[in-house]
Amino acid sequence: MPANLPPQYYEAEKRYRLAKTPQEKIEALEEMFSIMPKHKGTDRLRAELRTKIAKFYEEAEKRPMVGRKGSLLYYVKKEGAGQAVLLGLPSTGKSRLVTTITGASSQVADYPFTTQLPIPGMMEFENIQIQLVDLPAITAPNVSSWLPNVVRNADLLLVVVDLTQEPITQVEATIEWLAKFRIGLPQDSRRAEEMTTWKKALIIGNKIDAEGAAENYRILESYYHGRFPVISTSAQRADGLEQLRAGIFRALDVIRIYTKVPGQKPDLTDPVVLKRGSTALDAAESVHKDFGRNLRYAQVWGSGKFDGQRVKRDYVLQDGDVIELHI
């Protein structure tokens, strides 16, 4: 057990031990997982936690849930280069955005709490696919137990605001809701010591087509400027969607790398997606473990270097780099 785990970890562990239902077990384990620092020394522990979580999910699914609608568990399997979830108050246009961008079918209606389940869809951005997940409103009844789990598991939060209403209170309500589950936004370090999970976030001001929306957008943008990226959209008119796609990609903080072996052409339609800051070694490992172990040097074509320049294993790659691996 790594010695530097914060007290929240042990609190969650205690809740895990006392938990009676698989759902309570999962909630506690998910929290422990999110607190556990990610490095080589915790690899095994994290894998064990994941296995336990998967076991309880299976158990929970087998159990009949008659009359316990609110306690159903949902876990949205990640696909593509990253998972961004839409979060916000009712009727802000989350479902309409997801359906317009991804073609997924999620019900859109002018009454609140239309969405009851997470609905995933795939968004194209240039040559990659990013997963968007439509979620129920944070104030929807019967979701409080599983919604935080889905959010904890996401790579990026998209906080959707209705620009026909006062915008700042909508964002603050979402931040407050997240804080209840100890989920913090790194750009917003209030009560940092209470948080157990940190999530990147982007704010979407939707319904920019409506009357008065431009003024509310100005207020929203100037208030959060420098803390969060803020983007305006109209899901109805399909406006601002290109900026949104690019904004989501940027906020995910990933790079696209094209790996090749000597003598062959890179496949420029099918990049490997890595975290920003990844090195030549990470790229080699993503192809195959042995590639990483045996990598002697790499050659890079791309933005940061002259074409074909030889680099070491720890060379930090940039979005769009082509890398030739020499083993």
> Residue 197 touches which of Mg ion, ligand GTP, none (CB < 5 to 8 A by kind)?
none
Closest to ligand GTP by CB, 159 vs 322, is: 159
Residue 93 DSSP label: S
**Minimal distance, residue 209 CB to ligand GTP, in Å:** 5
User: Least distance from C-beta 94 to Mg ion, angstroms?
Assistant: 5
Shortest reach from residue 115's CB to Mg ion, in Å: 3
Q: Which residues of the shown chain bind ligand GTP in the complex (CB under 6 A)?
A: 90-96, 108-110, 112-115, 136-137, 206-207, 209-210, 234-236
Tell the smallest beta-carbon distance from residue 130 to ligand GTP (Å): 19
Which residue number, 146 or 258, has a Cβ lying nearer to Mg ion?
146
* Residue 95 interacting with Mg ion (CB under 5 A): yes
CA 217 to chain CA mean position, Å = 24
Half-sphere exposure of 12 (CA within 13 A, CB side): 24
- Length in residues, the chain: 327
Choose between 112 and 302: whose C-beta lies nearer to ligand GTP: 112
The 8-class DSSP code of residue 234 comes to: B
Euclidean distance between CA atoms 204 and 159, whole angstroms: 6
Return the range that interacts with Mg ion (CB under 5 A); candidates 106-114, 119-127, 146-154, 236-244: 106-114
- Beta carbon of residue 210, minimum distance to ligand GTP (angstroms, whole number): 5
Nearer to ligand GTP, 29 or 89 (CB): 89
Q: Say which entry of ligand GTP, Mg ion, none residue 137 contacts (CB below 5 to 8 A, set by partner kind).
A: ligand GTP
Is residue 114 close enough to count as binding Mg ion by CB under 5 A?
A: yes
Task: Determine the distance from the C-alpha atom of residue 64 to the mean position of all C-alpha atoms in its chain, rounded to a whole number.
Answer: 30
Q: Can you list the positions of beta strands (E) in the chain?
A: 83-88, 119-125, 128-134, 156-162, 183-184, 197-198, 200-206, 230-233, 254-260, 272-275, 297-301, 309-311, 322-326
CB of 177 to ligand GTP, least distance (A): 13
How far apart CA 42 and CA 111 sit, in angstroms, is 46
**End-to-end CA distance of the chain, in Å?**
35
Residue 149's Cβ-count burial label (10 Å; 0-12, 13-18, 19+) is buried
Instruction: Give contact residues for Mg ion (rule: CB under 5 A).
Output: 94-95, 114-115
